[in-house]
Structure formats: structure tokens, C-alpha cells
Structure 1
Amino acid sequence: MAFGVTKRLVFYCIIATLGSVIYGWEVGMLNIIFSMRSTYGVRFGTFTNNGKGEFVATPSKATRESIITPMFTFGCVFGSILAMSLMDRIGRTKPLALGSFIYTIGSLIQTFSNTIVVFCIGRFIAGIACGVTMVVSPVYIAEITPKNRRGAMGLLFNFNLQAGFFFASIADTLCLKLIKGEAQWRTAVGCQLIPAVLFMTLIWFGPETPRYLLMKNQDEKALDVLAKVREKSKNDQEVIEEYTDMRDKLKAEVTDGVVRWGQLFTNKFYLYRIALCCILQFLHMLVGVNAINYYSSQIYKDYLNIDAAKWGSWLVVINNLFVVVFSIPALKYVEKAGRRKILVLGALVLAICMFLIFLLCLILDKTGHAVFGVLCVICTYIYSVAYGWSWGSTVYVWQSEIFPLRIRSKANAIAMMFQYAGSVLVTGSVSILMKYLKYYTFLIFMAMATIAFIFSLLCIKETKGLSLEDMENLYSIDKKVNPKLRGDQDIKRDIDNAFDIKKC
């Protein structure tokens, strides 16, 4: 039984992934907005006029940027906590709708702010919204997609995330080049209202997932939604088979209800999976992607001697365009290659790229030959494309698949908190690290990518082709610690061994 990709499935997945568009937009916009020295920089105290018509960095620039940047991520942590309680209570689509509304409020506050405090409050509120949507969206996609297409549809999440980066960079670049005065940065920030309003409008067209409806004993409605997404009659034999298999396994799985917090951290079966995803998400950020996302335009200026005012923003646009374009083939090949192989090879490429970026910056610094600057820019492009192909997409796909329904909302939210913790660590420190360590900072990210390579090689199991209900028997530890997987013969053997006098 192998369903294809239907128009409705793609439409519903695109709606859900608008949550990743707003996340990508919010993260991507600061890269170029930080370059608006005479407007944004003066307003928020990162640049000042030296009296010669030049805008130079203030002594507190690194500190201010280290406050502004992670405020969004702090909000994401709170949003993840909120998502935990919402997903099991009101479903998948309603938290996405709530997130779109909260994000719009945060965007408006940022657009009309006049002080760094108000701007940070707006970013914090926007972060709460994205914390909700980044937890819920991958789960929504995994729960409505057939197992043979789950990887490709999951990559839509990353594709739209990268699209958010691209559209933010091109909108901000146009504002930088075409608009003067306060309207320059306010228009650039206000452009994020475009995806926010679009998301807030379209999310109401998305149905609830069949698996959540089954969990709430709305069996008939679950069958109707499944048939609708598959674009077949609910009497179709394949739909009935998928529904019956899904229903029987889920009913058995959630017999005891949703897992409580105490069970979550005392049951080795749950704890092992949560630990894997938490480490995976933490490394997901420590490989250094946000150093490129937030500070690439400054890297081009400070280490590669590229005129940031003239070329910096356009280089960011080209970088994001390459990532979007080269993410398209990944939609086709993820089901063939599998998740584990992509993570392993991706981490290896990221480590190599970070080392080359460091090496080329070092050679350029010692020789002054511009060709090494060009090669370094190319390496940052390769890094971004490799990240988009691998860790930027596959981490979310693997995480959305690995947890049983009874812990899925709590476990996904906990894992996402570790992504945000890693993001706060990177975004809060990279500006200061680059101030004192300069391009040697890239060696730290190379080391983290190497650790990510070793971890994914040794600890990640392949999930390609398995149904969500069959993930419970993925690791060798599962059968030892999960009673639901132990058959009658296993139990009978344990009882016989327990009363075998010869073994006493």
C-alpha cells in the first residue's frame, strides 16, 4: 500500500510550513538590517556618526547585538512549552492558528518600536509564536502524510524555512538600496507581516490530523479526513486498510492515555528517544548555521575585505537563493537516501566547510590576495546548501517520526527547547567570539560538526519506509524496556525462567 502525493496533501503541508517561513523570515531579516547603519544602527545604538559622514560601530555594538539576537530564541523556548499543553488538548491546527496571530502582534511591535527594549519585546513575542509553530508543523506533516512520502513532505518544512530566509534577504536588500531614513528599517521589519497575514488566513483551510482525531475517539471524522487528504472515497480499499491499521495500532498505543511527566523521565523507552533528539537538536545549532545566517554580511566585511554597503546584502541574497534552488532536488532523493545517511554525510561536509572557511580567512589575512576571499564566499555558499540539504531539514523529519503518539507533543517540545538553547548559545556569543577570536571562531564550529558526524554515525537509526506506529521497535533497547513490544512467548519464557529451580 503506497499512496502518492496528492494536491490536497501538498496544499495542507504548505499551509503548515508557513510556520517555518515566518521563522526563517524573522531569523534572516537581522543579517541585513544590522547593516543599516545610518537608520537601524543609529536608532538602536550599534552605530554612530563620527562627524565625517561615516557611521562607525559603537563600543556596545557587540553587546547590543548579543541582546537583540537571542531574544527571539528565548521566546521560542516559551512557545515550545506552550505547544506541549496545546497539542494534546486542542489538536494541531488550532495551535498553528494561534501562533500566526501571536506572530502578527510581535511583528507590529517590532515595526513601530523606538527603543531597544520595545524591539526586544516584539522579538520575544514573535519567538513565542514560532516556538509553537516549529513544534507543531513537523508533527502535523508527519501525521497526515503516507509513510512512503513522509520524508519528501517533511523537507517542505525546510524548503519553506529557506524560502523565508531568501524572501527576507531580498526584501531587506531592496529596502536598504531604495529607501532612506527611518522608513528604511521599519519597512524591512514590517515586511514580515506579509507571511504572517498569509499564514493567519490559510491555516483555517487545514483539517485536523486523522491520528489526533483517533486519539480523541472521533473515528468517523478521522476516516473522512484521511480519505479527503488521499483524494479517494472513504470506501476505497486502500484508504480503509490504512485507516484500520492506523486505528488499531493507535488505540492499542493510547490505551493508557497520554503519558504523564513522571513517566516520561522514568521510562527508559521514552527517555532514550528524548535524549537522542535533544542531543541532535542541540548539535543542529552548534554546527554554526546561525553564525552564517545572522552575521555573514559582517563576515564578508570584517574578514574578506568586501564592501558591505555595496555587495554584502546581495551576497546574502545569492546565498539564500542557492539554498532554496538546491533544496528542490532533496525533495526527490530523501526517500531514496534515507535520513541517517543524509545526517552523517551532511555533518562531514559541514565540518570540512568550516575548516576551509577558517583556512581561507587565515590565508587572506596573511597574503591579502582577494581570490581567497572569493573562495571563502563560495565555501559559505556550499556550507549553507549542505546544511539545507542535511541537518536543516532531516533533523525535523527524523524527530517528527521517532516518538509514539502518546508522548509526541511533550517529547517534540522538549527536543525543540534544546535547539533553542543551542541557538541562544550561538547567537548570544558569536558576535563576542568573532570580536576576540576573529576567524578562529570557525574552528569551534568545525569541532561541533565533527561531533555531530560521530553522533549521527553511531546513534541515529534509519526510519525510512516505516509507519509512525512501527517506530517503537527501532532500537535494540526498545524490546527490553517497552512492555507493549513483548509478545506472549517472551512473557511465557520469562515466567518459566523465573520458576526454573535449576537456575536458582
Structure 2
Amino acid sequence: MDVSPARSKVVVQGQERLGLGLKCPELTPDYRLISVMGRQSTRIATRSSSFLGSRTWRLIRKLLAHAFIANKLTVIRRTLHAFLLSVLSHTPGIGRMLGAKEDRTTHWKNNTNRNWWNDPGLRKITAWIVLLYCGSFTIGYDGSLLNGLQALPQWNKAFNNPSGARLGLINASLSLTVVPWICDTYGRKKAILLGSCGVITGALVGALAKTEAMFITGRVIVGVSCIFTSTGTACLINELVHPRLRGICGSLYLSVFMIGGTLAAWLSYGTLAWDSSSWQWRLPVLFQVSAPLILLLVASFGPESPRYLISKGRHEEALAILAKYHANGETEDELVQNEFKEIKNHIVKELEGNYAGSWKSLFKTRGNRRRVLITERPFYTATLVNDAKVNYLPVSVLVNGLISIFGTFFAIVGGLCVNKIGRRMLYLLSNVGLMMIFAVLTALAAAFAEHPGSSGIGISFVVMLFLALGIHSFGWLPLGTLYPAEILPYSVRSKGLSLNFVVLAVSLSVSGFVNPIGLKALQVG
């Protein structure tokens, strides 16, 4: 039954391909970029193509080749070529001016309203996705919690002002091989359930800790469990969401990461007044159980991934979920049928090609190795209290909270712009900006080492931290889970996302271990 007088018409650039790693992927993945276009049917593009005409394409390549190949600077030529194409292809009107042709498309009808908020099925799936964002909230809260605790006198008193190597030890907690095995063998929901129980247990142990060993035990349990929840929720969101909403819903996942960090910072700031009670630090640690409690609800009553169900031969259940949330229950809907066939064929070909199962398959081919290199990029997180010279305690916690709000704003803006600007363009803009900011931060750190009493340098350092986190949040965070989910084959998707969060955990651990030692030697911390 039609839910509105007019059906929705959406454009999807790029069809989900097998992507077994037999060939190197382009820097831009075959993503599903969707925008509402009309009222008659669903337009699904069968292949991605440049907005530039073929003649213009060849002319630009020829000019760049003559300019750089003579000096054998092929890397620079390719980088400039990719950047120029990205700028031109995302400039309104340029494609038409250069004689670009439309993508070849196939029309798939879909029983949904053009506005997701007016469609029952899309409202339901959006509600589940919002609840699944708690997985990102959990890891964001956990990552920022220790920064806030370091500024609380009662916490430093209870654990003897941990610094240097001891601070790095408390930060170090991660997991790797078990998470994708649980996701692929028992399902995304089981991984979320297991991780949520672990986070709740670890948070209770940490909040009730009376010794440093007990607190570290709770931190390790939480750190390992967070990777279960984050990997499971990231996979489930990208595999459940309607194609029309996949870009925005996937890119906003790590924006909620920043919201979790912001709440941790401000909750720590709010407890500063309890200067005579241990609940000054116990309450922020205990609050960590809130998001996992919501995830327990999702794991118990929410839908499972259709891709996981098809991989286990449960085709009827997968089709029912696709129909319920993507076409308001119509199993014969054209979009639903094509989605079902596409997923089924994709997984069957992977199984026939022996690409499923092992970690070896993630690095076996040149294409997959390149995908891993692209997606598992270093994850930058500013350690505000130790990296910035802010002497007055309430001010340091306040700066932590303000920077978190600043980063959250830019993360949400970047997530909403991902379909307009494009994945590669976001990466390019963010990387160029961060290189410039890091150069200035390095110079400021060197200047502060020579003039340790300069408040002007310290203020400049904090300002640059604001800019760095803003640029990082705008470009890298929206693509942190969306990009790997779109370019990695199903058989290695959970492994790739798990590795992504492990890289994040390792980066935080190394940062927490090295930065306090180095800054203490520089007499900054």
C-alpha cells in the first residue's frame, strides 16, 4: 500500500559492487549518494562517473602530464590532478559548462514518501539508528572521560596524581581479533549486547574503585568492551539504513562521538564544586553506564543486519526486514527486491571466491591492502589539559568543555555536508588544513620551550587546538566509519571497522603515554 500520493524519486551514485580487492579501488568509493529529485520513481545509477566531459578529462590530464612528467614527479601530478577534478566536479554549473553527460541510470520504484519524517518505515529505521548512535557516544565519552578526571583534585588525590608512564598505562585498553569473529558468527546485535554488558560492568568497577589497580581494571574492561559496541553499531547502521539516508546517517555516527566527549567534559566541570567528596570523580565514571543501557534495549528488540542474515541463509528474515523499513512492508517493492538480490549475489560471490572468514583476506590482495591503508588512518584527539598551558583549574576544565562543543558543531556540519561536498573533497580539505595547523602548533611548542613563562604563546596554543579539532571534526570524523563501510567488502567489513577502532585506541594510548612524558620534560604539564 502506498503511504503517500507520490512515490519518492532518489538518485544513488554508484552501485554496491563485489569489491573483492582484485583491483585497486579509486580514492573515491562506490558510495550511495542520494538526494530527493522528484515524485515518480527511484533512480539508481549503475555506475559512477565524473561530472567532467571525456574531452575535458583528457585535456586536463595531458596538460598536467606535460607539466610534471618531465621531472618525473608523478605523485605530485596525481595529487594535483585528483584535487583539481574534485574542485571542478563539486562546483555548481561546471559540469554543464564543460559538456558533462548524465550518469546511466536504472529506475527502481520505491513505496516511501519523499520526506522521511512523513514515512512510517523510514521513521522507524531512523529511530533505531538514533539509538544505535549510543555506541559512538560510549566510545566518545570514554575517550574524553580521563581528560576530565585529570583536572579533578579528588581523583588525583585518590590515585596519587598519575602522570607520565602511569597515565599512559591507564589509557591503554583495546581489543582486536574477537570482535569481528563475534560480529560475523553470531551477528551484530550479539556483539552490541556483549559490549554493552562489559561497559556497564567496567564502569561500575571503576566508579566503586578504592585502589588504582581496581580503577585500571575497570578502565581495561570498558576499553575492550567499547570496541564491541562501536564495531557492532557502526556495521549495523550502515547495513540497515535506507539507501536514501545512508550518507548522512553513516557520517553522523562519529559526530555523536564528539557529543559523548562534550558531555564527559562538562560533567567533570559540573562536579568541581564537590571538592570534599569522592563523588566528584565517581559520578562521571558511573554515568558511563547510561548509553550501554539503551544499547541493551536495541540488542534485545531491534532488527538484525539483513546482510548478516543472508550470509547465514536466513533469506526470508532479511527480506522481511528490508521490506518493513525500506518499503513499509511491501516485499515485492522494486527497490527492496533489487537490494535483496544485490546483497545475496554479492555475498554468494564472496563465498564462492573463498574471500570470507580470515584476517588474511583483509591483506591478501593489493586492492584490500589499499583499502585498509585508506580507511585505517591515524586518529587525532587533542589532550587538552596536558597539551595546553592553562594554570587555573576551573579554566582548564572549562576550555576542555568549550573545545568539545566546538568540535561537535563542526562534526555535525561535516556530516550534513558529506553528500554535497563529497568524500574525497572532505578528506583533501581536512588534510591540508591539519598540515598547516600542525606546523603552527609545532612552532608554538618550540617557542614555549624557550619562553616557558609566556602566557601569549599558551593562549595561541589553545586557539590553534580549537582550529585543529574543528578541521579534524569537519573532515575526518564524518568519514571515520562511513568510508570503510562503503569500500570494504562484506566479508572483511567488520574486521576493517574493528581495526579502525583499534587504531583509535592505540593512538589514544600512545598519545596518553608519550605526551605526558614529553610535556613533563618540557615543563609544560
Give TM-score scaled by structure 1 length.
0.74
SS in 2 for 1:159: helix
Asked if the contact 1:19–1:133 (Cα under 8 Å) also holds between the matched residues in 2, the reply is: yes
AA matched with 1:205: F
Report the equivalent of 1:99: 195
Distance in 2 between residues matched to 1:27 and 1:180, nearest whole Å: 26
Distance in 2 between residues matched to 1:136 and 1:153, nearest whole Å: 15
Q: 1:68 to 1:309 in 2, by over 3 A?
A: same
AA matched with 1:185: W
Q: Which of 471, 495, 500 lines up with 1:386 in the alignment?
A: 471
Report the equivalent of 1:8: 124
For residue 63 of structure 1, report the CA deviation from its aligned partner. Answer: 2.6
Distance in 1 between residues matched to 2:473 and 2:301, nearest whole Å: 28
Q: Which of 275, 287, 299 lines up with 1:191 in the alignment?
A: 287
Distance in 1 between residues matched to 2:319 and 2:214, nearest whole Å: 47
Distance in 1 between residues matched to 2:362 and 2:262, nearest whole Å: 40
Distance in 2 between residues matched to 1:411 and 1:221, nearest whole Å: 26
Q: Which of 312, 334, 352 lines up with 1:237 in the alignment?
A: 334
For residue 97 of structure 1, report the CA deviation from its aligned partner. Answer: 1.4
For residue 166 of structure 1, report the CA deviation from its aligned partner. Answer: 0.8
After TM superposition, list the pairs within 5 Å mapping 1:36-435 onto structure 2.
36-37=152-153, 39-46=154-161, 61-70=163-172, 74=173, 76-77=174-175, 80-178=176-274, 180-232=276-328, 233-255=330-352, 259-261=356-358, 264=361, 267-269=364-366, 271-273=368-370, 275-277=372-374, 280-281=375-376, 283-285=377-379, 289-290=380-381, 292=382, 295-300=383-388, 303=389, 306-361=390-445, 366=451, 370-435=455-520
Distance in 1 between residues matched to 2:327 and 2:392, nearest whole Å: 51
Q: 1:274 to 1:132 in 2, by over 3 A?
A: farther
Deviation by residue 1:345-398 (Cα, 9 ceiling, x = unmatched) = 212212222222343455566496645544432221121121112222313211
More displaced stretch, 352-361 vs 401-410: 352-361
Q: 1:330 to 1:265 in 2, by over 3 A?
A: closer
For residue 263 of structure 1, report the CA deviation from its aligned partner. Answer: 5.2
Q: 1:260 to 1:368 in 2, by over 3 A?
A: closer
Asked if the contact 1:106–1:124 (Cα under 8 Å) also holds between the matched residues in 2, the reply is: yes
Distance in 1 between residues matched to 2:413 and 2:443, nearest whole Å: 30
Distance in 2 between residues matched to 1:318 and 1:229, nearest whole Å: 38
Asked if the contact 1:100–1:199 (Cα under 8 Å) also holds between the matched residues in 2, the reply is: yes
Asked if the contact 1:25–1:167 (Cα under 8 Å) also holds between the matched residues in 2, the reply is: yes
Distance in 1 between residues matched to 2:432 and 2:282, nearest whole Å: 40
Report the equivalent of 2:142: 26
Q: Higher helix share goes to which structure?
A: 1
AA matched with 1:299: D
Q: 1:118 to 1:360 in 2, by over 3 A?
A: same
Distance in 1 between residues matched to 2:332 and 2:356, nearest whole Å: 34
Q: 1:296 to 1:411 in 2, by over 3 A?
A: closer
SS in 2 for 1:191: helix
AA matched with 1:101: C
Asked if the contact 1:140–1:209 (Cα under 8 Å) also holds between the matched residues in 2, the reply is: yes
Distance in 2 between residues matched to 1:393 and 1:94, nearest whole Å: 26
Asked if the contact 1:44–1:116 (Cα under 8 Å) also holds between the matched residues in 2, the reply is: yes
Q: RMSD over aligned Cα, in angstroms?
A: 2.6
For residue 95 of structure 1, report the CA deviation from its aligned partner. Answer: 0.8
Distance in 2 between residues matched to 1:31 and 1:123, nearest whole Å: 13
Which residues of structure 2 form unaligned runs of 5+? 1-41, 44-109, 117-121
